[in-house]
Amino acid sequence: MMRLRSLFAVMILTQLLTAQPLEMLQLREDGIAQWSYVDGDEFNESSINEKAWRKSYPWGRSLGSNMLQYYADDNTFLEEGLLKMEARKQDTLAKGIPYWDADKILNDGTKNEKVYNYTSGMLFSEKKYYQGYFEARLKTSKGKGYFPAFWLYGANPNEEIDIIEAKGERPFSYHVDMHCPDGCSDYRKFLWWRTSSYGDWIDLDEDLTSEFHNYAGEWVPGEIVFYFDDQAKDQWAGNLEHPANVIFNLGISGREGGGSFDGGIDETTPFPQTFEVDYVRIYDRIDEGWKEKEEARLNKKGRKKKKNKKRVSKRVSATARIFQEDGNLRIETTGLAKFSFRLVNEEGVLLKELDQNTEGSIECNLSEISDGVVWLRSRANGFEATTKLGK
């Protein structure tokens, strides 16, 4: 009997670990930001959901611009609960833009139909999204000339959010950027009269090609905030007016030069190589009055078109993700500050106080607490958020 109970507990935990969150909470200086899960993919099925994703850009399978890869369907697949996009060294005769004539010239000066010496993989969401919190747990690719990326694009001139653009030969840093018609990625760097317009590199002490990490972009009116493992790292002011698709792709560069995005593959580049994604999750913010809070904060700092790493690093001091599956509750927390959690009934009567274990997580069987609706009250630094849980 004890063995069966242990097996049952493991099965419940596995379900919760592979399920999407119900909500995400962020402790901030002005309150608790409450995010409701609206869409995403855990990539736990046997094959990619073709109703949700396509394996190429709508306009073609090659972008030119000295990128060498042809995006082939076979190079994007699910394996062991992961989305994998694989770069391969293989010859493929194909049209970069399927609906163009074979002899039409691409922007890199080559014919539309040609032999590609390399293939790779990508995913492009069928849905578009407007604002929210976009996060993915992923591991970047290792090797000179690889460009793995997680980004949003609205198919409108100069509207783009680059949550992560990595280079295989720079395993301890990654690039973020925001593009919009009014030049929102411009910022002053070192000299006040000189501006840069090519985003920013985030330097870290960890090898991004060896472990999975969480990368996110918070898109709210007036700005984008970029996160690494739940810590805000960079921010950009500017407005994007159009919904955007979610994109993952593994580029193979043939660029030459010494710029930050130059440097293509060479004899040291390993093939095949994968870009791996554990999940992608999309949230909408739901706490009352949040737009007014963001507007006041942006007005206070003057809406300057510049990055501010020092200030943004204090934006979030703790994060909690709330999971519920078949009557079982799990809460995962990160950050230096601490939440306290209570379960109450519809009348607000306390049912149970929840204690975190040493790993910062909480597990609870709700069916043992109440037969009715249960509410979770999350508190920190004098602020409170309430989450309705199912029966």
323 contacts: CB under 8 Å, gap ≥ 6: 16, 19, 20, 21, 22, 329, 330, 331, 332
- Of 350, 287, 373, 359, nearest to 330 by C-alpha is 359
CB atoms within 10 A of CB 140: 29
CB burial readout 97-125, b (16+ within 10 A) else e: beebeeeeebeeeeebbbebebbbbbbbb
DSSP string, 197-208: -S-EEEE-SS-T
Looking at domain 2-29+325-389, its CATH class is mainly beta
Q: Given this model, what pLDDT does residue 300 score?
A: 61
How far does the chain reach from its first CA to its final CA, in angstroms? 27
Q: How far apart are CA 318 and CA 320, in angstroms?
A: 7
Q: Is 10 helix (H, G, I), strand (E, B) or coil?
A: helix
- Separation CA 325–CA 105 (nearest Å): 53
Which residue is listed with tokens 């706490």?
287
Helical spans, DSSP H, in the chain: 2-18, 290-300, 309-312
pLDDT in tens, the chain (391 residues): 434 444 434 444 444 455 899 999 999 998 999 999 999 999 999 999 999 999 999 989 987 678 899 999 999 999 999 999 999 999 999 999 999 999 998 877 889 999 999 999 999 999 999 999 999 999 999 999 999 999 999 877 779 999 999 999 999 999 999 988 766 755 544 444 445 556 889 999 999 999 999 999 999 998 899 999 999 999 888 889 999 999 999 999 987 766 667 779 999 999 999 999 999 999 999 998 888 877 777 666 544 444 445 456 678 999 999 999 888 999 999 998 999 999 999 999 999 999 876 567 899 999 898 888 899 999 999 999 999 997 6
Tokens 């306390």 correspond to 350
Element (H, E) at 16: helix 2-18
As a whole number of angstroms, the distance between CA 18 and CA 323 comes to 10
Whole-number pLDDT of residue 260: 62
Per-residue confidence (pLDDT) for residue 6, from 0 to 100: 40
Q: What is the DSSP string of 25-77?
A: EEEETTEEEEEEEEEEE---SSS--TTTEESSBTTBS---TTB-EEE-GGGEE
Q: What tokens appear for 286 in the block?
A: 């739901």
Q: Which two tokens stand for residue 76?
A: 């994007």
In Å, what is the CA distance from 93 to each residue of 74, 79, 90, 169, 370?
15, 27, 10, 29, 63
Q: Which residues of 55-73 are buried (b: 16+ CB within 10 A; e: fewer)?
A: bbbeebbbbeeebbbbbbe
Residue 242 per-residue DSSP state:
S
Backbone angles phi, psi at 311, to 5 degrees: -70, -40
Quote the CA–CA distance of 336 and 250 in Å, as a whole number. Answer: 34
- Residue 169's CB is within 10 A of a number of other CB atoms, namely 16
Cβ atoms within 10 A of the Cβ of 349, count? Answer: 8
Separation in Å, CA 205 to CA 170, 173, 174, 308, 318: 12, 8, 12, 20, 21
Nearest to 148 by CA among 225, 57, 87: 87
Tell me the one-letter amino acid at 186.
Answer: D
The second-level CATH assignment, the architecture, of 40-285 is Sandwich (2.60)
Tell me where in the chain the CATH 2.60.40 domain(s) lie.
Answer: 2-29+325-389
Report CA 215 to chain centroid distance, whole Å: 5
Cα atoms in the Cβ-side hemisphere of radius 13 Å centred on 127: 10
> How much is the pLDDT for 258?
60
Q: Measuring CA to CA, how many Å separate 105 from each of 136, 140, 196, 254? A: 36, 32, 32, 18
Q: Look at residue 189 in the predicted model and tell me its pLDDT.
A: 46
Q: Would you state the structure tokens that stand for residue 5, as one six-digit string?
A: 């109970």
* CATH 2.60.120.200 domain span(s) along the chain: 40-285
Query: What's the pLDDT score for residue 164?
Result: 98
